[in-house]
């Protein structure tokens, strides 16, 4: 079984069928929302950022052959995710505030949208995944929840660690996570699928965008391909009616103006990473 998806041929307006799927299952996919040339430019920008070296507080690769907790060389030491790249890169900011995303997000949220976070994942061959989790466990948006716009920057499937979602969990509360398997996940938190529900893989092409509710349980397996990255650019968004969010997140209007919200409790970066083993 694979995820139901909605084809749009790049149209900026979310079809009614996509909105309905989001309401019923907690996620929907807009196919080809971004062109291949746009995604190639985004990948080139982050390739250059990686080559230029660390940016403290955002992207700090380690060049040593440090081992992960399972005892294997960890590719994520050389290719860690980039946190809040929109604060250090103009192209990343333009993608976060992209009008096509705004159009779909306003349909899904039913109100004005604020941008709260951006991330870029390289996920090189051999990299661990991220265990099943819920995004609003970290953002702690109150009232309501966040919505993610997850942009595929490579062909993404089960071999290279594509996303898996648990439809229906968007209607549930936040769960108390268990500890993940450090050999499979770089992040500590793990939320098992509730009884009667199961994971569904979401295969994607470059330029496809997966939108999902912040309470939807989702995650990914390790990248088991021998030579394929699984790059993705992710934005998190909240409705204008939100009053509180974690202090790690700094909300912007979709025109780029700061819109500060009060701080909520219990928040943190998206995914608490296991402590590295060995020298940096």
What is residue 20's predicted lDDT score, i.e. its pLDDT? 96
Taking a C-beta distance cutoff of 8 angstroms, is the pair 202, 163 a contact?
Answer: yes
Mean pLDDT (the chain) is 91
Whether 110 has a pLDDT exceeding 50, the answer reads yes
pLDDT above 70 covers what percent of the chain?
Answer: 88
pLDDT in tens, 224-247: 999 999 999 999 999 999 999 999
Confidence of residue 11 (pLDDT cuts 50, 70, 90): very low
Tell me what pLDDT residue 279 has. 32
Crossing angle of helices 99-109/16-25, nearest 10°?
A: 60
Q: Which residues share a beta bridge with 234? A: 119, 150
DSSP labels, 170-184: GGS-----EE--TTT
**Average pLDDT estimate for 53-71:** 72
Residue with tokens 């196919």: 31
Q: What is the per-residue pLDDT for 267?
A: 77
pLDDT at 269 over 90: no
Task: Give the residue-averaged pLDDT of 136-162.
Answer: 97
Helix H or strand E segment including 58: none
User: In the 8-state DSSP scheme, what is residue 32?
Assistant: T
Task: Check residue 53 and give its pLDDT.
Answer: 85
Domain 6-55+75-263 classification at class level: mainly beta
Grade residue 270 by pLDDT with cuts at 50, 70 and 90: low
| pLDDT of 9 over the 90 cut | no
Q: Which stretches does DSSP call E strand in 35-122?
A: 82-83, 113-121
Q: Which CA distances in Å does 5 have to 25, 99, 111?
A: 11, 21, 24
In the predicted model, is pLDDT for residue 268 greater than 80? no
Q: What's this model's pTM, rounded to 2 decimal places?
A: 0.91
Query: Is 252 within 8 Å of 170 (Cβ atoms)?
Result: no
Neighbouring-strand partners of residue 220: 130, 163
Q: Flag whether pLDDT at 12 surpasses 60.
A: no
Residue ranges covered by each domain of the chain: 6-55+75-263
């Amino acid at each position: 079984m694979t995820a139901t998806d909605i084809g749009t041929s790049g149209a900026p307006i979310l079809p009614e069928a996509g909105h309905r799927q989001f309401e019923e299952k907690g996620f929907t996919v807009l196919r080809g929302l971004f062109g291949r040339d746009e995604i190639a430019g985004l990948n080139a920008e982050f390739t250059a950022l990686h080559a230029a070296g660390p940016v403290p507080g955002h992207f700090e690769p380690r060049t040593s052959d440090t081992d992960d907790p399972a005892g294997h060389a960890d590719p994520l030491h050389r290719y860690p995710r980039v946190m809040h790249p929109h604060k250090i890169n103009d192209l990343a900011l333009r993608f976060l505030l992209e009008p096509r995303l705004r159009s779909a997000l306003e349909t899904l949220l039913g109100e004005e949208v604020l941008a709260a976070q951006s991330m870029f994942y390289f996920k090189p061959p051999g990299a661990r995944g991220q265990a099943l989790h819920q995004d609003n466990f970290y953002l702690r948006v109150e009232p309501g929840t966040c919505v993610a716009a997850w942009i595929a920057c490579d062909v993404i499937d089960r071999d290279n660690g594509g996303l898996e979602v648990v439809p229906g969990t968007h209607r549930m509360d936040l769960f108390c996570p268990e500890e993940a398997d450090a050999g499979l996940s770089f992040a500590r938190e793990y939320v098992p699928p509730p009884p009667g529900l199961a994971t569904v893989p979401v295969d994607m092409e470059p330029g496809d965008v997966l939108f999902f509710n912040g309470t939807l349980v989702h995650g990914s397996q390790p990248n088991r391909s021998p030579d394929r990255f699984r790059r993705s650019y992710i934005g998190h968004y909240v409705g204008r009616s939100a009053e509180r969010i974690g202090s790690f997140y700094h909300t912007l209007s979709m025109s780029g103006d700061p819109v500060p919200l009060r701080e909520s409790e219990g928040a943190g970066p998206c995914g608490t990473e296991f402590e590295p083993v060995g020298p940096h």
